[in-house]
Amino acid sequence: MSKIKVAIVGVGNCASALLQGLEMYKTVPEKEEIIGLMNYDLGGYKPGDIEVVAAFDIDKRKVGKELKEALFALPNCTKVFFDDLPAYPVTVRMGHILDSIGEHYSAFAESETIFAADQEPCSVKNVLQESGAEILLNYLPVGSEQAARFYAEAALEAGVGFINAMPVFIASDPEWEKKFKQRNLPLIGDDVKGQLGATVIHRTLARLFENRGVRIDRCYQLNFGGNTDFLNMLNQERLSTKKKSKTQSVQAELATPLPEENIHIGPSDYIPWLKDHKICHIQMEGRGFGGIPISLELKLAVEDSPNSGGVTIDAIRCMKLALDRGLGGALVSISAFTMKSPPLQFSDNEALMMVKDYIEGSRKR
C-alpha cells in the first residue's frame, strides 16, 4: 500500500504518544498478538504506513528542531514507551500563534508551560504543499479558537484533509463541513475520544442505566492530570468548548438529556506531579425498580496521551480510504466512533458497526 502522508499541528504529548506507537507497532511481528489497537490492518493500511511529512509548533524548545528531538522536548511529559524513533526528515516549522497562549501561563514554571519562540511564522499552506501532505492533524491546545480555524483554512487552501482532534467545532459546524465538501476534501472531528477514556466509559454507563430501566437523576465526571492540557484548562474561558464537547457526548446517550444543573462534566484541576497521568472520577445517581436509589462511583486512571493514539491511527487510516475513494466532506461514521463532538452522534456500538461497513466499502461515509 502507499504511504499516508500526514502533517501535524502541535508537537505536544498526543503527537509524541502517536509517533512512538506508530514506530512500536512496526516492530511487532504480524503473527504476534497485537495489544492496544482496534485494527492492525485497516482497509489494507497498517499503522506503519503512516508517515509524518511536516510538523508545526510555536514553542521555542520545538521550533527549528528535528521532529524526533521536539517530540521529547519540554513541556512534553508523556510516558516514553518506545524511544527508538527514526531520524524523521522533518524540521518543526514555526506556526501561527494567534490565541493559543493562555494569559495564565506566565504564572507557571517554563518547564510546565508552552513558551513561544520568537520567530516569523511559516506559510502553512506552502509547507503543506511542498511536503506532499495529504492530511493535517490538529493537536492545538483547548481554547485555540482562531488558531484552529486558521489551520483548517490552510488545509482547505493546500488541498489536504483535516482531522480535528481538539474541541473547536469544525467538523460539527455545518458551515465548515460545507467548505470541505465543496473542495472535495475529507474532514473528521471534533475532539478525539480516548480508547478507554472518561467519555466513552461515561457514555457506556449512561446507556447501561437507560437500557436497564434505571432513571439517571444526576451525575458528575471530574478529571485531573498534570500535563499542559490540564494546565491550559485551568482557565475557565479556554475550557468552555471542552466542557461542552464532553457534556454533549454523554447527553447524546440519553433518551431525555439531563437538566443542566444535574450534570457536571469537566476538566477539574491541574496536579503537576501527575504529569500525563490522568485521573477521572464518575458519580452516577439514579432510581431503579420501585424507585429505589442506586448510586455508582468509578475511578479511572490512565496515561492520557497514549490513550488517544490508537483511536487517532484509525481516524487517519479511514481518512486515507476517503482520499483513495475520492470522498469529500465530513466522514460521519469514523467521526462518531472516534470523536466526542462528531457532526452526527450515534451510540458507540452503532458507530462501530458503521465504521466496519465504511471500511468494507458498503457504507459511503
Ligand X SMILES: NC(=O)c1ccc[n+]([C@@H]2O[C@H](COP(=O)([O-])OP(=O)(O)OC[C@H]3O[C@@H](n4cnc5c(N)ncnc54)[C@H](O)[C@@H]3O)[C@@H](O)[C@H]2O)c1
> Which positions touch ligand X (CB under 6 A)?
9-15, 56-59, 62, 95-98, 100, 114, 139-142, 144, 147, 165-166, 191-192, 194, 227-229, 304-305, 307-308
Distance CA 225, CA 101 (A): 19
Helix (H) or strand (E) holding 335: helix 332-338
Residue nearer to ligand X on the CB measure, 1 or 107: 107
Residue nearer to ligand X on the CB measure, 176 or 270: 270
Q: How far is the CB of 132 from ligand X (least distance, A)?
A: 20
Q: How far is the CB of 13 from ligand X (least distance, A)?
A: 4
Q: How far is the CB of 105 from ligand X (least distance, A)?
A: 10
Region of 144 (left: φ > 0; alpha: ψ -120 to 50; beta: rest) is: beta
Q: How far is the CB of 193 from ligand X (least distance, A)?
A: 7
The set of cell numbers assigned to 54 is: 511536516
Nearest by Cα to 351 from 137, 148, 204, 224: 204
Q: Other CB atoms closer than 10 Å to residue 30's CB: what's the count?
A: 8
Residue nearer to ligand X on the CB measure, 12 or 186: 12
Partnered with residue 8 across adjacent β-strands are 55, 137
Residue nearest to ligand X (CB): 12
Region of 216 (left: φ > 0; alpha: ψ -120 to 50; beta: rest) is: beta
Distance CA 226, CA 2 (A): 38
Residue nearer to ligand X on the CB measure, 129 or 218: 129
Residue 60: half-sphere exposure toward Cβ, Cα within 13 Å: 8
User: What's the chain's length in residues?
Assistant: 365
Residue nearer to ligand X on the CB measure, 100 or 131: 100
Strands 50-57 and 135-138: unpaired
Q: How far is the CB of 34 from ligand X (least distance, A)?
A: 20
Residue nearer to ligand X on the CB measure, 12 or 343: 12
Q: How far is the CB of 237 from ligand X (least distance, A)?
A: 15
